[in-house]
Structure 1
Amino acid sequence: MTSAPLHVHVVCTTHWDREWYLSAERFRFRLVRTMDAVLALLEAHPNYRFTLDGQAIVLEDYLEIRPEREAELRRHLASGRLRAGPWYVQPDEFLVSDEALRRNLDLGMALVRRLGGQPVMAGYLPDAFGHLANLPAVLRSRGIGAAIFTRGPDPQVAALGDLFCWRAPGGEAVVAHRQPIGYGLTLSEDPQAARAQLRAALGALQAEARGHELLLQLGSDHSRPQPFVPELIGAVGAPFTFSDHDAYLAAVRAEHLTLPVYQGELRSGARHPLLSGTLSARLYLKRRNFALDDRLRFTAEPLLARAAPSGGAPPEAYLRRAWTLLVRNHPHDSICGCSVDEVHDEMEVRFQQAEGIAEELERDALARLAGSPDAGRLLVLNPHAGAFLDTELLLARAEVAGGAARVGGQPAQLGAVRSALVSTLAGPASELPQWLEQLEDRHPVRWLSWTVAGTHLRAEVDEGPRAPDCPAPDALLAEAIAHGVRTVELRVYQTRARLTTALAGTAPAQALDLAAASDLPAEGAGTARLLGAHLVVEVDHQDGTLRVTERKTGRVWPGLHALHDVGDRGDTYTFSATPEAPIRARLLSAEVAERGPVRQSLDLVYELRLPEGLTPERDARSPATVSLLVRTRVALWAAARHVEFSTSFTNTARDHRLRVHFPGPGRGSLADSAGVTVSRPDLRPSADTVNWAEQPADAHPLTHWAAKQDPAGSWGVAARGLSEYGHADGLSLTLVRAVGWLSRDDLPERPSQAGPPYSVPGAQCLRALTAEYAWFPAFAAAEQLNAAALAYAHPPRAWLVPARPSPPPPP
């Protein structure tokens, strides 16, 4: 370093968790008081600046209560003395998609600009539980050239100092600032003590500084601005001046430093707890988030685009509203499952609201396609070139009677038929138009028949997409009037069938003919094994695992799909195993569920006798036990090179972790993460980690797939919404992790508190749960496994597009 003078950029802020140990509405009371205090200081001190924690949603939250202060807020945003963004909310990076991160930035930056300000152009992530290897690319996609963070650096990264060039695997790079003393300092109200704190902070920052520009943040979790700070900094003077993140980064760039380059994830608990237990806390939230993200990206938006030429599209605000509701569930304390139960109950409401918007957008798009070339056909959307379609359709009862069909000429199975009388209506004929309108609001009429006896009309209706030969409801009303009908009885049936077929093409969108078939081979009883073109799956009745044989090479994979359960004395932030040996599941039954030309499946039923919880001392599992029944459907497509699983159970035990294990060779693991492949070493607690803030754990974020490498290539697992895997002695997927405390201070893996010591019974996940995942044998290259896993995780989806009824013949 040269002898240039030091410059300390003092950024006043508050780390604002919108919801955490209180709900968003409870925290809003504190937010309004905090913002009132910020505005008062900005008015009183012309040199004062304040930064709103890198997120913009707090502006919305404040103005909903203080709309009368919008002009004042706008004035300070326009002047640059009040800063916000670029994020809409402070996200967790590993539990949401990279597309959701980009939408988060879009929402945040747009909000700041609507209020007259310019968003901070730094990816500020002070408290996220680790950082993506591809975060530089995500930031660069929105014109952001810097990242500021606290958690995640390992000793190698810490040795780089407070500044380095962080490069994504694709080459995109940002200036990265690691905050050496954390993301916020609270000063003593005693002037001399406060000055001593500033001197100590300056020394700590200098010790790790690469240049002469230093960043010091004042303000911590949910803290209000300290009113004496403007006078204190003014009195202390150089090298301390009020600043913001953009001004600091501009000064860093002006130094023209030669920065060391780092490429990779930031997921270490060496300096700060990584809190990897949040990957599996309240897994039901992660699965629902994955499903809704998938629906918005790969169903609602493509359907809207396909229907656009038909005109009459709903306002774009609907789709924006759905994404906004989803992103509001992405703050790190929210999607991570480490808040009080009230917070996560409200998250489920937001998911439900966004799902409702998505469903209405899809219904509207399909209705507008009724006049397009897709009308009356099966529209297939295929976001990742999947070869296998498994979808549920509303059909007329007569259409599913044969149990088989053809899709675009390809054989298809129709199974799992559920036909039920869902509504009966009886009353005067004058109410018939209203009934039919209500029916149309739920599902359009697919098939309709009626008989007239005297003045009474009896009608039967099948719900589903309308076909061209289905009379319009007006025709029913006209005939009723013509026959002098006075009373009407309407019976409504709903028939759902599961259609499975191998697709002839893998185009992103195609409309195919769906027709009944009578020449397909019938299902046979068969034995409890699955036979495909590439794989043979057999059940080992001794231990309940599966043995898969690759037909081409003869390689046998034994012991697959072993269910292991261990006690967990940890909290929502950290898994902490009790000392007992894992409990293994006992296979109760294995039966053929499906044996057709397209797909075969087995139903496996397991039982685990689990301790009901922990002993009062919390150091072991309790002697009292409960039964946990696990039902797994194992499916093998005739032409597939992978095996699919759907596992359902109602969790009956507390304080435990249930994983499904797939043994196999290989060290560490590969995994996809925000669109790139990362390598993760097998790091375990050792003498080198004894002084870490949190010990390393065999818990890693799962976006879509994880793999191990052996001489034959890369083999692995994939999942739809499961977010944690282990890579010790093979690959494991966490199906549930049940704990009862937000945070504890008696865990050997993490001796410090990570949050308030509150009881959170909802985190025990005593509810019905379902997990969908797949196993893949070795592919020659990881890129091939990536393609196959993405096609599984985001499979093709299909709908019967309604067709407008034929016009009635002329009188």
Structure 2
Amino acid sequence: MVPSNQSSARWRIMLVPHTHWDREWYFPFQRYRTRLVGFFDLLLEILERDPEYKHFMLDGHTILVEDYLEVRPDRRELIERYVREGRLTVGPWYVIPDEFLPSGEALVRNLLRGHRVASDLGGVMGVGYLPDPFGQIAHLPAILSGFGIERCVFWRGTDASLDSTELVWESPDGSAVLAKHLRDGYGNASPFPVEEEAFVEKIEEIRALLQPLARTRTLLMMWGSDHVPPQPELPALIRAANARLPDAEIVQGSLPQLFDEVEAQLDGRGRLPRWRGEFRSGQLSNVLPGVLSARMWIKQRTFACEQLLTRWAEPLSLWADLLRARLGEAWREPPVPAGPASPPPREAASEAGLLDRAWRLLLENQPHDSICGCGVDQTHAEMRPRFDQCEQIGEDLAHQAMRRIGEQGPGERVYVFNPLPGPRTDYVTVVVPATRGAAPVAVVDDEGRRRPCQLLASDGASLASRRAGGPVVSVAPGLGPVLPEGVQLLVDRLTIGFVADDVPGFGYRTYAVEYGEPPKQRASRSRRHIENEFFRVEVNARNGTLTVTDRRTGVRYRGLNRVVDGGDRGDEYNYCAPDPDVLIDAPAALPRVRLVEDGPARSTLEVRMTYRLPARLGPDRRRVRGTVACPVRVLVGLSPGVPR
């Protein structure tokens, strides 16, 4: 493997001391932080006491430094000094992510924040370090290249066809990085002996593994693993081993130093193997595919928060700020909304600070063990308030931005915003003022197009009206207000739904609400089908499945929406079917089907079913006798003009 002109040269073993610090995993965050504080105290003591301790790598991410400095802010200048001197390397990530579950934008924000924190500490390690993500995405070289990072170290996802520890890794767009593959993982020197004889034996063991795969005379030895503290004995061990190795030299160094040596020995990158695309094989290391669906609520809330920030809060806040700059003195601030009397932020820098805080909260939930759901229950319970707080910030900023934009247009209008790049027609809901003696019956856009609307109920509760001296009368949700003669609505606000047509991409459309005489008739609730001009949907009365007919093509799809339950006796990482497994694919009784909405803007069927599922596993991890009831509620709706 090594070129013939280098075959007589001595081997250089770049020994990189490091720790792999999972912020939360089989301990929750604060329990790990108590150990993190002790870890940093020891590391800084070693660096201060022993100038021969040349370097330590802080796992390629920066949040662990922030976590320490929150407890020991007095140590910041000391850490900055060691970063500037090159004895500590930090970044480029903020957290070591999973690559498949966050969005591409979230990976970019991760690197942006990591660069910012590392730069403030004295410098960014210019190597894309990926010790433990469960496989590598195809576009990672492109993302790294966008930050000027042309070097990468990774572990999981390769198979035996990769016969080199050095390679050129390409993204589909042609972006490429020089990569070093950790053939035996980020802890290949484990268990890190501190006796001279055992140390030399470990060095020779790792050489035997790596030298046949090397394309240069410089090997990478990772001296550290999960939450492993620094070893003060290391410089002395290296000196002793160097005295005994006739054909090799051990250097305590860094990843940038390693790549400098590798590139100096390469005559360009042409003779290295080139790999294009993702690494997703489990042949050499477990990529744990079961984590993609472990604790599914984490994946759902991650997606919701990413969409809230990137599709709503950020672009709308920017839009409002640009509009204010354009209008100048003609700009109008909206009234202060209900709640605290103080106004929302009005300066772009304040909004940016809040968005930055929302992103930090979200990124704190994206380390690979956190987002994958493979920690203890307490670890993931502590993720919930971070999601909550991210949503609170994002929703407040998005709502305020829409109010500010709407204040510049005509008053007493409904504004429908579209955050997508193309035009969209879809069903929307909005809260509007109530008017005594009349109900919202339609909306009219600025081009005079009229769309009927229907009155809804919030959270499934009926709106109430009262006849003077008479009983409370319910307004059936979704069917329009059915009001006996002489009954008037006495509520301040109503929720309506309607179909908004052709809302421009990255734009909005305004609607005036038309009030009038409410409809007097209810539709039958006994139907088991709904339809619009595109689809007809029918519910099977025996098993609750759906038959969807595409009215444009005549194609009929039967057996949709079949709910099937199977067992899983695995752990946080891996699926394992019970022995024997039982698939439950039908409800225990006939489903209950009813029409819960049938208005001019939307028709909705509700299907309620009860499944009888095996109760639990026994101590031997086999199913015990008995079942429990599992209620299932399915809502399926159609709106006129909406082809989905």
TM range (shorter): 0.7 to 0.9
Amino acid at match of 1:405: V
Distance 1:554 1:370 in 2: 43
**Cα drift, residue 410 of structure 1:** 4.9
Q: Kindly state the Cα deviation for residue 84 of structure 1 after the two structures are TM-superposed.
A: 0.9
The correspondence for 2:195, drawn from 190, 193, 196, is: 190
Structure 1 residues 281-680: aligned runs within 5 Å = 281-308=294-321, 309-310=323-324, 312-314=346-348, 315=350, 316-369=352-405, 371-373=407-409, 376-377=412-413, 378-385=415-422, 387-398=424-435, 401-408=439-446, 409-418=449-458, 495=493, 497-516=495-514, 524-525=523-524, 527-578=527-578, 579-586=580-587, 588-619=591-622, 621-642=623-644
Which one of the candidate residues 69, 72, 75 is aligned to 1:66?
A: 72
Identical pairs, percent: 36
Does structure 1 residue 201 correspond to structure 2 residue 206?
yes
Measured against aligned partners, the alpha-carbon deviations of 1:382-420 in whole angstroms (never above 9, x if no partner) come to 324362334442322239923543455352533432399
Per-residue deviation at 1:568?
A: 0.7
Distance 1:334 1:537, change over 3 A: same
Deviation at 1:88, TM superposition (A): 0.4
Asked if residue 261 in structure 1 is aligned to residue 274 in structure 2, the reply is: yes
CA distance in 2 between counterparts of 1:202 and 1:393 reads 67
After TM superposition, give the deviation of residue 615 of structure 1 in Å: 2.6
Aligned match of 1:749 = none
Distance 1:242 1:221 in 2: 20
Tell me how far apart the structure 1 counterparts of residues 593 and 391 of structure 2 sit (CA, whole Å): 36
**How far has the Cα of 1:209 moved from its partner?**
2.0
What do the CA deviations read for 1:93-150 (whole angstroms, capped 9, x no partner)? 12211111110101111001112x2211222111111221222222222222233211
- Whether 2:182 is the aligned partner of 1:179: answer yes
Shift of 1:90: 1.0
Is 1:95 aligned with 2:82? no
Q: TM-score, normalised by structure 1?
A: 0.66
| Alignment-derived partner of residue 11 in structure 1 | 16
Give the deviation of 1:285 after TM superposition.
2.0
Match of 2:253 among 226, 243, 248: 243
Report which structure shows greater RCO (CA 8 Å, sep ≥6).
Answer: 1
State the Cα RMSD in Å.
Answer: 2.6
Cα offsets for 1:25-76 (capped at 9, x unmatched): 1111111121122222223134520111010011111111222221111101
Aligned to 1:220, what secondary structure does the other structure show? coil
2:142 to 137, 151, 159: 137
Structure 1 position 371, deviation (Å):
4.3
Deviation at 1:546, TM superposition (A): 1.6
**What is the TM-score of this pair, normalised by structure 2?**
0.83
Report if the CA contact (8 A) 2:196-2:240 is conserved. no
- CA shift in 2, pair 1:550/1:370, >3 Å: closer
1:681-705 deviations in whole A, cap 9, x for unaligned?
xxxxxxxxxxxxxxxxxxxxxxxxx
1:623 alignment partner AA: R
* Structure 1 Cα separation of the partners of residues 451 and 581 of structure 2: 51
d(CA) in 2 for partners of 1:628 and 1:384?
41
2:456 maps to amino acid: A
Q: Decide whether the 8 Å contact of 1:8 with 1:239 is kept in 2.
A: yes
CA apart distance, 1:199: 0.7
Equivalent-residue separation in structure 2 for 1:250 and 1:398 (angstroms) = 74
1:85 to 91, 94, 98: 91
- Mean CA deviation greater in 610-619 or 304-313: 304-313
CA distance in 2, matches of 1:530, 1:287: 29
What one-letter code is carried by the residue in structure 2 that aligns with 1:293? E
Q: Retained in 2: the 8 A contact 1:420–1:495?
A: no
2:228 to 223, 231, 251: 223
Q: Deviation of residue 494 (structure 1)?
A: 6.4
1:63, 1:360 → 2: CA distance? 30
AA aligned opposite 1:557 = Y
Relative to structure 1, the CA distance from residue 520 to residue 138 in structure 2 (aligned partners, 3 Å threshold; closer, same or farther) is farther
Query: 2: CA distance between counterparts of 1:47 and 1:263?
Result: 38
**Distance 1:410-1:175 versus aligned 2 partners, 3 A rule:** farther
Letter in 2 for 1:286: K
- Deviation of 1:590 after TM superposition, in Å, equals 2.0
Distance 2:401 2:378 in 1: 35
Mapped pair 1:110 → 2:113: no
Counterpart residue type for residue 197 of structure 1: K
Structure 2: gaps spanning 5 or more residues: 243-247, 326-345, 462-489
Q: Is the 8 A contact 1:310 1:372 kept in 2?
A: no
Distance 1:296 1:493, change over 3 A: farther
Does the 8 Å CA contact 2:355/2:394 hold for their aligned counterparts?
A: yes
Matches of 1:281 and 1:494 in 2, distance apart?
Answer: 44
Output the amino acid matched with 1:250: D
Return the alpha-carbon distance in structure 2 between the equivalents of residues 363 and 113 of structure 1: 34
Name the SS of the counterpart of 2:129 in structure 1: strand
In 2, are the aligned partners of 1:181 and 1:201 still within 8 Å (CA)? no
Q: Deviations over 1:145-169 (max 9, x none)?
A: 233211122344xx24222222222
Amino acid at match of 2:309: L
Number of aligned residues: 569
Deviates most, 32-41 or 65-74: 32-41
